[in-house]
Structure 1
Amino acid sequence: MFPILWRLLTLVLCWLVSGAASAGELRQKVFTAKSYAGSRDRHYQVFVPSTYTGQDAVPLVMILHGCRQTETNMINETRFKDLAERDNFIAVYPFITSYDGMRETNCWGFFLDQHIHKGAGEVEDLHQIAREIEAELKIDPNRRYVTGLSSGAGMSVALAVAHSDYFAAAGSVEGLPYAETSSAVGFVCVNPGSFKPVSANVAAMKAEQQQPEEQRPVPIMAIHSRNDCVVNKLASENIRDAWIRRYGLSPSPTATLDCTAEGVPCTQTRYGSPQRSVVETVFYEGKRGDFIGTGTHYWVGDNSGQFADPTGPSATELQWAFFKAHPFREAPPPSISISAAQATGNSISVNGTASASAGSVASVTVRLDGRFPQPAKTASGTSDWAVTFDNLHMDAIYVPVATAKDNDGASTNIAGNPITLGSPPPNAPPSVTISSASVSGDCITVAGSASDPEGQLASVGVELGTRPRKPAGVSQDKFKYQECGLPGGTYATRAQAADRAGATSPVSSGPDVTVSNLQAVTANWQAHMGAGRLRVYSAPCASVGFGSCDQGFSEIFLANQFNPFPLHRKATSNDWYVRPESIP
């Protein structure tokens, strides 16, 4: 046992002095359970690169951990954080946090029916996490992607099927087909697992995708070791074949490439059309394990870890290149502009232009927002369009909002300048109400509603205690704000809304909330070490050397080995403890 510990300590020290971290910012977030079935509170982390300014929309990539892992494994063992810093995109790392059913530690429920359908369970929670990020950061709706390892790859496949109208493309590393069972996981080399016939996977995909907007084939890349004894390569072959049958593709490849790297043979195969693949497989000669398949199931080609090996083709680089080549649509959405909007008596006329870079504009609709909102009307014309609203309420302000939609269903909105009819009363300020304020760990979430009598709500700002006011995410008449990494203490919650004319609402006060002075993080020892919680401690800590402030690494490893365990600290301290009662 002690020689093993010595080797582990040597590895730990190597990790401590290895490579510099990415220069962006990791933000800890908490997703609050929703009212649909199977929803749960979930932690997740978002990497925002230093190059992100908020001015231009950027891609989003969601990366899902596998069994016996947390999101920290994917942060440290893949290279998506580095590529996000290099190429300016948002990387999000969800943590399953808690779960139901019989499953191995921290497995996503890709094999449980209640978690793989739109509108419920884990697949919907992950979709909603992505939408939360869109409410806070400027995300390009044409470039939203998801991938994962093992059970996380199985859930990535489920997201590609259940939310084909949302994600542009998906990836799978050592993953499994849609609606597969847990029997497909073999665990040992002599047992390849028991797989459903491909026809059953296809039937499940068709049953899930019944709406017209769900028929788009989501491009997918499946990466798999030919020597994986935990999830046999037949899993990715079945992903490939299910996609081919579901979307009526030719089984003949359009291209075969050599992706050999660092002496590891690798073949990349494309299916679809020469211009745009729909399925790509990457099969490589991964490491061979012992009888029970130890060391054969991992993320390949990036960093080292419990389920990661740097030798071979980079799964991160391969998938990012695939994602970049597969936006949701090849052509950008249509463009629209309002040329003029004028009032005559109790009527308002609005006209403008619209265009589509590929195809044509199918329709233009216009609505009027304000105290007396008018429903959308279809304009006459498309390239040059016009619409008139008659018999409007006088003494009011209206804001025209025009929408262009192309033949592929993509749409673009634009709001024009306010139009005044008659002599409206002085601008009434907006209103705001805090409906809830909750605490999870060191995160506070404040939510509520806001409105403006003239339909010109511009923003909502939230204050926590004496901290500066910060903008909340606003969607229609709802707002939500979350801040993490807060020190222990009691915080008053306040919100204020503003309209486009600069008028502000009275400050709305919500309930006081209290963040505990103690923080706890549960992860395995590699993740704790990667985050700096396990490190070399010195006096006055009770344990001097590598480990926590109250226990040495050997004691910690003997008690937990590779299983997750909690570490605790005061919010104002950088010293972590195994036992909360040891914290001074």
Structure 2
Amino acid sequence: MDSKALPDMQEAARLTREGRVTEATALLQRLFRGEASPGAVPKAARPTGTVDPTARLPRVFDVEPETGEVKNAVPPPQAAGEGASSWSGAGMGRTAPSPMPEALRGMLDHFKQGGLAQGTAGLSSSFAPGGFAANQAPLPNGARFETAAFAGDAGNLGYKLYVPSGYRAGQSVPLVVMLHGCTQSPDDFAAGTRMNTLAEEGTFLVMYPAQTASANAQRCWNWFSPSDQLRGKGEPALIAGATRQVMRDYAVDPHRVFVAGLSAGGAAAAIMGAAYPDLYAAVGVHSGLACGAARDMPSAFAAMRQGAAGRTPSARGGEPAAGGTARVVPTIVFHADKDGTVHPSNGDQVIAQAGAAASGKLPARVEQGQVGGGRSYTRSLYAPAGEAAVLEQWVVHGGGHAWSGGSAAGTYTDPRGPDASREMVRFFLEHPHPAPAQG
């Protein structure tokens, strides 16, 4: 990003924090059109001694991509869960909301490269907060989709857990942790990815942690906040804690615990792989960003628009587990080349970051393919000499910001792309953890 734009980005962040979202949006529109800035907007006057009654509410807005119209400038608290299928996050909020502004997803939708219509044929139509899938497929006989919660030092985290009909208490099974994107819910993400269907076929558990409006008003995982990029802190501690709780409550094979996510959830999955390589055997990142790609709002804007500064962002993650050693965490990445919300170069950076622990260069084998009646793709496999691939990258040609091969029953899905869910599960099961943490 041009350094001349930084003051305008900082000014937009200040306006957003103050709830002056219309002014912030107008400033950013001028910035990305290349127009000269009119200068900083003065702070609104307030009588001495008065208190803004909404000062502690998360400030967020959504922007209509076609018109730039600001919607839901300060959404009412009760609206956070409307239309969220059977999921309710009531009481699951963090002890305190993140200090980072919650405006990223809505603002950046307006600045999609090439416009929303480009490369989005087949995508679900509901992009607004609360626009979750309402139609839930009936459960197979004996299967369960349970609501639960984890409580820890970092706060509380609600989640849903799919238990397939073939699960038996004495038989260890894999666990896949799925981190939804902004505005989504566990039910919506399950419907769109069809991961529960695969769990039923392969007999594994699927956990869907749920972000709430008290932590982020758009229900985004706070991947851009430094305090949510570290082992034992913030959201990573909560997600890891919930993962371990499921491992204690069910017969989970510790060698086969995996994490994946979409968009902000994909960035959070990359963070979990960097912060907890002893817990997660492999990682799936769909339309996401590398760990440490941003540290604040301006750098998050820049990373989403053009990739993180520098060739490869530095993974934060914190210290590894006691006695742990660095390893290449097997990682599979899906990203569409027409994604106008998270620039495709971020997928390259996820792969580069994941491969940084390799002792030598990882040669790539590149394949081209085509989904029958759907999109073409490029698949790159990175493997040490004479060994199986530890990194896998899928570039979906012509697709947008959506889960490839997903179902139209959920939001942010592209049914015409290769089946990301099935390919991730296949990749995960090929990469059990060589030495998982115990307990």
* Same fold? TM cut 0.5: yes
Give the letter aligned to residue 367 of structure 2: L
* 8 Å CA contact retained: 1:148, 1:171: yes
Q: Secondary structure at the match of 2:279?
A: coil
Counterparts in 2 of 1:129 and 1:232: CA distance versus 1, 3 Å: same
Distance 2:232 2:437 in 1: 22
Q: Distance in 1 between matches of 2:125 and 2:308?
A: 37
Aligned residue type for 2:311: V
Give per-residue Cα distances to partners, 1:237-271, cap 9 Å, x unaligned.
01111222333341530x22334213311111111
State the alpha-carbon separation in 2 of the partners of residues 29 and 45 from structure 1.
6
Pairing 1:227–2:349 present? no
Match for 2:149 among 2, 25, 30? Answer: 30
**Corresponding residue for 2:380?**
269
For 2:91, the equivalent position in structure 1 comes to none
Distance between the aligned counterparts of 2:306 and 2:312, measured in 1?
17
Shift of 1:328: 0.5
For residues 267 and 217 of structure 2, the distance between their equivalents in structure 1, rounded to whole angstroms, comes to: 14
Per the alignment, do residues 99 and 153 of structure 1 end up closer, same or farther by CA in structure 2, a change over 3 Å counting?
farther
**Aligned residue in 2 for 1:213:** 324
2:274 is matched with: 161
Q: What SS class does the counterpart of residue 306 from structure 2 fall into?
A: coil
- Would you say the 8 A contact 2:285–2:334 is kept in 1? yes
Q: What residue identity is the alignment partner of 1:324?
A: L
- Point out which structure has higher relative CO (alpha carbons under 8 A, 6+ apart): 2
Q: 2:405 aligns with which of 287, 301, 306?
A: 301
Structure 1 residue 142 displacement after superposition: 0.6
Q: Which residue of 2 aligns with 1:565?
A: none
Determine whether 1:285 maps to 2:285.
no
Tell me: CA distance 1:155–1:308, structure 2 relative to 1, closer, same or farther (3 Å): same
Is residue 48–residue 91 contact of structure 1 (8 Å, CA) maintained in 2?
Answer: yes
Cα distance in structure 2, aligned partners of 1:152 and 1:88: 24
Deviations 1:5-47 (A, max 9, x none): xx989xxxxx988965444110110222x22xxx222211000
The residue type paired with residue 276 of structure 1 is A
Q: Summarize deviations over 1:34-71 as a string: whole Å, max 9, x none.
A: 22xxx222211000000001121000000000111111
Per-residue deviation, 1:164: 0.3
> 1:275: Cα distance to partner?
2.6
Distance 1:159 1:214, change over 3 A: farther
Partner Cα separation in structure 2 for residue 128 and residue 68 of structure 1: 23
Q: Which amino acid aligns with 2:261?
A: G
TM-score using structure 1 length: 0.48
Residue type at the aligned position of 1:26 = F
| Matched ranges for 1:135-146 at <5 A | 135-146=248-259
Tell me whether 1:170 sits opposite 2:288 in the alignment.
no
Superposed displacement of residue 410, structure 1 = 8.2
Distance in 2 (CA, whole Å) between partners of 1:137 and 1:56 is: 9
- The answer as to 2:163 corresponding to 1:53 is no
> Is the 8 Å Cα contact of residues 174 and 223 (structure 1) preserved in structure 2?
yes
1:321 counterpart = 2:321:
no
Identity of aligned residues (%): 24
> What is the alpha-carbon root mean square deviation over aligned residues?
2.9
Amino acid at match of 1:97: T
Q: Does structure 1 retain, via aligned residues, the 8 Å contact 2:125–2:411?
A: no
Return the alpha-carbon distance in structure 2 between the equivalents of residues 409 and 311 of structure 1.
Answer: 36
Measure, in 2, the Cα distance between the counterparts of 1:50 and 1:65.
24
For the pair 1:131 / 2:241, whether they are aligned, the reply is no
- 1:160 deviates by 0.4
Distance 1:132 1:278 in 2: 28
Higher share of residues assigned strand: 1
- Secondary structure of residue in 2 paired with 1:232: coil
| Distance change in 2, residues 1:46/1:327 (3 Å) | same
Q: Does 1:237 align with 2:348?
A: yes
Cα pair 1:222 1:239 within 8 Å, conserved: yes
Task: Say if 1:186 and 1:231, in contact at 8 Å, map to a contact too.
Answer: no
**1:302 Cα deviation from its structure 2 partner:** 2.0
Can you list the C-alpha shifts for 1:179-210, whole angstroms capped at 9, x where unaligned? 1115565599xx833512135425x46x6448
Q: Relative to structure 1, is the Cα distance of residues 98 and 20 closer, same or farther in structure 2, using a 3 angstrom cutoff?
A: closer
Unmatched 5+ residue regions in structure 2?
Answer: 1-123, 127-132
Letter in 1 for 2:430: A
- Map Cα deviations across residues 460-485 of structure 1 (whole Å, 9 max, x no partner): xxxxxxxxxxxxxxx9xxxxxxxxxx
Inter-partner Cα distance in structure 2 for 1:176 and 1:259? 24
Between Structure 1 and Structure 2, how many residues are aligned? 304
**Any gaps of 5 or more consecutive residues in structure 1?**
1-6, 10-14, 288-295, 330-407, 412-474, 476-584
CA distance in 2, matches of 1:322, 1:184: 32
Which residue of 2 is the match for residue 64 of structure 1? 179
Q: Work out whether residues 299 and 308 of structure 2, in 8 Å CA contact, stay in contact via their aligned partners in 1.
A: yes
Q: Does structure 1 conserve the Cα–Cα contact (< 8 Å) formed by 2:270 and 2:290?
A: yes
2:197 is paired with a residue of what secondary structure?
helix
The 8 Å contact of residues 187 and 230 in structure 1, kept in 2 or not, is answered as: no
Residue 368 of structure 2, aligned match among 241, 246, 258: 258
Q: Identify, as 1 or 2, the structure richer in helix.
A: 2
Please give the secondary structure, in 1, of the residue aligned with 2:401. Answer: coil
Deviation digits for residues 387-433 of structure 1 (CA, Å, limit 9, x no counterpart): xxxxxxxxxxxxxxxxxxxxx6988xxxxxxxxxxxxxxxxxxxxxx
Q: Distance in 1 between matches of 2:340 and 2:251?
A: 41
AA aligned to 1:307 is: Y
**When the two structures are superposed, what TM-score results if normalisation uses the length of structure 2?**
0.64
Query: Rg bigger for which structure?
Result: 1
What's the secondary structure of 1:217's corresponding residue? coil
What secondary structure is seen at the aligned counterpart in 2 of 1:170?
strand
Distance in 2 separating the partners of 1:16 and 1:165 = 37
Contact 1:25/1:49 (<8 A) preserved: yes
User: For 2:222, which of 103, 106, 109 is the aligned residue?
Assistant: 109
The offset of 1:137, in angstroms, is 0.4
1:153 Cα offset (Å): 0.6
1:532 paired residue number: none
Distance in 2, matches of 1:264 and 1:140, equals 35
Q: For the residues of structure 2 that align with 1:410 and 1:41, how far apart are their CA atoms?
A: 23
The 2-side partners of 1:165 and 1:232 are apart by 30
Relative to structure 1, is the Cα distance of residues 129 and 17 closer, same or farther in structure 2, using a 3 angstrom cutoff? Answer: closer
